[in-house]
Amino acid sequence: MRNVFGLLALASLMLVQQTVKAQSASNYDPHDAFAPLFYPAYGDDIRTAAGVPGPKYWQNSADYKIDASLDAETHGITGTVTITYKNNSPIDLPFVWLQVDQNIYNLKSRGVAITDLSGGRWANRDAFDGGYSLESVQILNPATGAATKADYLVSDTRMKLKIAYKFILPQYGTDRCGRLETKNGWIYEVAQWYPRMCVFDNVLGWNTLPYLGQGEFYLEYGNIEYNVNVPSEMIVGGSGELLNPAEVLTPTQLKRYNEAKASEKTVVIRSESEVTDPASRPQGKRLTWRFKCTNTRDVAWAASKAFVWDGARMNIVGRPAPAMAQSLYPVESVGDSAWGRATQYVKGALEFYSKYLYPFSYPSATNVAGIVGGMEYPGIVFCGYRARSRGLWGVTSHEFGHNWFPMIVGSNERKYSWMDEGFNTFINGVADSAFNNGEYFRPIKSRVRMAKPYFDGANPMLTIPDQEPSREWGVLSYSKPGSGLELLREEVLGKQRFDYAFRYYVHAWAFKHPTPYDFFHAIENGSGETLDWFWRGWVFNNWKIDQAVTGVEYVGGDPSKGANITIENKEKLPMPVTVEVKEENGSTNRMQLPVEIWEKGGTWKFHFPSTGKITQVTIDPDQRLPDTDPSNNTFKP
């Protein structure tokens, strides 16, 4: 026994010397990756460990009634808003906080103060000095309707209690609102246009992070009725349902509008040639467009006399009433390779996301061409008027994808952009492959080239958006979290388990406020898999991936008896493994190994039943992982 053992050991030592490459240092520590404690607290009956809201979950609500009018001479908006705020929390609130985001356009705002010298996408331009003028703030007694003057204080973009207001709409509104001058008149894209309640929750109490530009919004749900008074030659599109089409459209337009609601094909409601024809609008000075949007966190609208308008019916799985896709754009954007297809893009995207995740919840979806490059609001999006073809499909699908993140699943965008931009980027990829037989789909050939942008930046994904350097914004908020979900779906859990778990999250938190931990719990419960190692590496830290093949030893030195293959995990983030083995006799085989092989250390040896001499062993042969050093992925014995 002893001698035999000694001889075998000697034989394999010689083989190792022949076939094992010099090993480089490893950064991997299995105790970092698989540390048993991950969640900072146990689940409770408000936010459960199952990843769903518990029996004591509560959420406050805010209903708004707004009357606003647009002055086309001054570009000013004057409004009054009545907010009915319902405190469902177990504690009394001696004060409330509101977001007054429009104040970012005041030259004294923090948003202006933190804009660096290069300006950038969120910068206030041309020294525009805007923001709200608050004419009056009153508290209404809900029982008697009696009004008393409110004691209030404004601090930058936030306000302590309630409101008649006005402001001038900036031309460049942090790429989220603004106005564009076209051949046939201004296009107004109006958002952040009324004071809105901050979210009060059991996580932070009042969520009062200020609006600085890059971080988006965190808002309560409620029902919003709003009336927009504009010059009669203008057409208005807005979030929710248009309540009075007969009062604001010509009889011809009304007929086409109703035809569009029932038509699979796009129906033109106001044509290119009608834009300059005064008869295409009702006569008279001004008109009030009335809208209602229910169970929503926000509303936005657009108005212009320059709009071409078309629409079509959407077939939303799980939605009892029909819904309508619409597009509003200037003559500059007309054309089959441009906005002429915009309504079909809206229809294609929304029908897909409804089937994949959760039914689209509003009666209409409007795509507006204007100065804003791409920005989402419930049931209405603003996309760049110059966008065409694949670019227009992409921005339309992306902005309407936001109707699921964060409009339906109401996460905190101001803190966690990866939970809306990133999750949305992921579903956009799935939609690309489905729309019109993959017309615009570009499959990912290799993720290796993503390693550098993903890992070489200094920041982890879990960074507050306003803290992210603009050069890392695209990676940290969009592509890295999007790829993270792809990796979980394609490499870790498989499509079926991932999709089930992702839907479990969406349905549990629809119209509610999940935190990152609620998301992690939901995916782990729904997929039946502990994923703390992945959240640690991909979300909390900027851990790299580097898998390598480092050795091949034939059993007893005989290739026909099988081979023991050595692989290594050299960087901090472990992942499951795919290995491809090619033999001289022409056979090619693959083996899948679970992530648990890395629990005890960064080197793993496994048996491969080779029948002949191995010519090549490749780890991650399809380059599905953003591996930082692909040079060690292939081993030729």
Q: Which residues bind Zn ion (CB under 5 A)?
A: 421
CB of 467 to Zn ion, least distance (A): 18
Q: Measured from the CB atom, is 275 or 408 closer to Zn ion?
A: 408
Q: Measured from the CB atom, is 216 or 568 closer to Zn ion?
A: 216
> What element of type H or E holds 380?
strand 380-384
Q: Measured from the CB atom, is 474 or 621 closer to Zn ion?
A: 474
Spatial contact of 254 and 311, defined as CB atoms under 8 Å apart: no
Q: Measured from the CB atom, is 421 or 491 closer to Zn ion?
A: 421
Q: Measured from the CB atom, is 233 or 472 closer to Zn ion?
A: 472
CB of 411 to Zn ion, least distance (A): 13
Cis peptide bond upstream of 481, omega within 30: no
Query: Measuring CA to CA, which residue among 549, 540, 554, 551 is closest to residue 578?
Result: 549
DSSP category for residue 157: T
Question: Which residue has its beta carbon closest to Zn ion?
Answer: 421
CB of 217 to Zn ion, least distance (A): 12
Q: Measured from the CB atom, is 216 or 620 closer to Zn ion?
A: 216
Q: How many CB atoms lie within 10 A of CB 559?
A: 19
Spatial contact of 579 and 549, defined as CB atoms under 8 Å apart: yes
What is the number of alpha carbons within 13 Å of residue 101 lying toward its C-beta?
A: 27
CB of 54 to Zn ion, least distance (A): 30
Q: Measured from the CB atom, is 406 or 526 closer to Zn ion?
A: 406
Q: Measured from the CB atom, is 64 or 405 closer to Zn ion?
A: 405
CB of 424 to Zn ion, least distance (A): 6
Q: Measured from the CB atom, is 421 or 627 closer to Zn ion?
A: 421
DSSP secondary structure letters along 407-452: IIS---TTT-GGGTHHHHHHHHHHHHHHGGGGTT------SGGGHH
- In order of 64, 106, 133, 424, 478, the CA distances from 138 in angstroms are 14, 23, 15, 39, 41
CB of 401 to Zn ion, least distance (A): 8
- Any idea what the Cα angle at residue 617 is, between residues 616 and 622, rounded to 5°? 110
CB of 366 to Zn ion, least distance (A): 17
Spatial contact of 250 and 281, defined as CB atoms under 8 Å apart: yes
CB of 553 to Zn ion, least distance (A): 51
What is the number of alpha carbons within 13 Å of residue 130 lying toward its C-beta?
A: 28
DSSP category for residue 70: E
CB of 479 to Zn ion, least distance (A): 12
Q: Measured from the CB atom, is 241 or 421 closer to Zn ion?
A: 421
- Reduce the DSSP state of residue 404 to 3 states and report it: helix
- Any idea what the Cα angle at residue 289 is, between residues 287 and 292, rounded to 5°? 165
Give the CA dihedral 516, 519, 523, 525, nearest 10 degrees: 110
CB of 382 to Zn ion, least distance (A): 12
The set of residues, in sequence order, having a beta carbon less than 8 Å from that of 629 and lying 6+ positions away, is: 546, 548, 570
CB of 396 to Zn ion, least distance (A): 12
Q: Measured from the CB atom, is 332 or 376 closer to Zn ion?
A: 376
Spatial contact of 217 and 119, defined as CB atoms under 8 Å apart: no
Q: How many CB atoms lie within 10 A of CB 44?
A: 12
Distance CA(14)–CA(41), nearest Å, equals 52
